[in-house]
């Protein structure tokens, strides 16, 4: 049975108290989550020598989370990833959003990454709720959001999302945790071995918008159906890698969306730690931390400097800019419907999994 405790983590610039919740499964795994942006602030598990190792990146104080630009550990919404030209059409009406992407051409991720949620402990789970008001960032409808964290005895962290609306809108939620299975040591993730259950990806334009094309990974550096290190083909002369200066792609997960199925695995030989991930979503954003070094907050936890490519993300999601491409799974949520999403990150040791 997971034990959950809480303490004051700090205060925001406008004086609001931020609470940290510590989840401990009694099996060597602890997870710390904040009520500010539902930040997963730490994930600690034993390495191959039994040493507690924090495998998630982040900051030590609230101000850094407020000022930082890398979304470390946050819940992302209302709509994850980029919305082309920061506008979408729903039921014949055009909605104009803020241009928040790196190049200021598209909408990216949304304000949930800077919002305070209301936390509670329910049936052994940690639950956060937030009411996103009508017209927040230009999105229609009042949307009630629930994010539930469950820490299992098998060292799994399950994140369950739920949302309802009082008017037609779009919703695409995810978690933006950065992992480095070597620990918070300032290393890159190029030595991590990755295997992905993904046979297709969706193509970018030169400005990071979606073309609408769903491309086979065959004979490309995006093919991780057999295991490769992240660094092995990172600098290959492939146009999609050049656009993103690395991996930052919507990878379509094989199998039936809506059912929990494996995303893939990541391993660190240095620590012996292995991550297995699962989702009900159609896809994930596989991101190799290409822009981490642009963060105005230069140091992470324990004063460690996180370099470019110092972490990777598996952001479970619907396809980006889905309203512009009818062949993409819909992100429209209407009154009377319930948005649901489940993602699981399970950690263990390589020797115990093979």
305 is catalytic: no
- Which residue in 192, 276, 315, 318 is the catalytic one? 315
Beta bridge partners of 164: 144
227 is catalytic: no
Q: Report how far apart, in Å, the C-alpha atoms of 68 and of each of 105, 117, 151, 239, 313 are.
A: 20, 18, 27, 29, 17
- Which residue in 176, 192, 249, 318 is the catalytic one? 176
Active site residues: 176, 315
């Amino acid at each position: 049975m997971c034990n959950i405790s809480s303490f004051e983590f700090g205060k925001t610039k406008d004086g609001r108290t931020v609470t940290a919740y510590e989840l401990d499964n009694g099996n060597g795994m602890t997870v710390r989550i904040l009520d500010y942006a539902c930040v997963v602030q730490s994930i600690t598990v034993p390495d191959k020598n039994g040493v507690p190792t924090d495998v998630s990146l982040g900051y030590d104080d609230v101000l850094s989370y407020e000022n930082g630009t890398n979304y470390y550990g946050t819940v992302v919404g209302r709509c994850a990833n980029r919305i082309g030209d920061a506008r979408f059409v729903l039921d014949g009406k055009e909605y104009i959003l803020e241009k928040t992407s790196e190049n200021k051409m598209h909408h990216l991720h949304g304000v949930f990454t800077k919002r305070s949620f209301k936390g509670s402990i329910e049936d052994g789970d940690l639950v956060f709720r937030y009411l996103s008001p009508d017209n927040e960032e230009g999105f229609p409808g009042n949307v009630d959001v629930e994010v539930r964290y469950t820490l299992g005895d098998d060292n799994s962290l399950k994140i369950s999302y739920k949302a309802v609306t009082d008017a037609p809108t779009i919703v695409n939620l995810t978690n933006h945790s950065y992992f480095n299975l070597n620990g918070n040591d300032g290393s890159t993730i190029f030595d991590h071995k990755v295997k992905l259950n993904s046979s297709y990806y969706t193509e970018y334009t030169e400005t990071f918008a979606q073309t609408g094309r769903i491309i086979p990974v065959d004979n490309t550096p995006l093919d991780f159906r057999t295991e490769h290190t992240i660094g092995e083909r990172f600098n290959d002369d492939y146009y999609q890698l050049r656009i993103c200066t690395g991996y930052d792609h919507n990878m379509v997960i094989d199998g039936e969306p809506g059912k929990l199925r494996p995303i893939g695995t990541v391993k660190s030989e240095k620590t012996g730690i292995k991550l297995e991930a699962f989702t009900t979503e159609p896809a994930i954003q596989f991101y190799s931390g290409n822009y981490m070094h642009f963060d105005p907050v230069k140091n992470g936890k324990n004063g460690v400097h996180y370099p470019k490519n110092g972490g990777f993300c598996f952001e479970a999601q619907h396809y980006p800019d889905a309203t512009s491409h009818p062949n993409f799974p819909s992100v429209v949520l209407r009154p009377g419907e319930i948005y649901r999403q489940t993602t699981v990150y399970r950690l263990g040791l390589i020797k115990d999994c093979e």
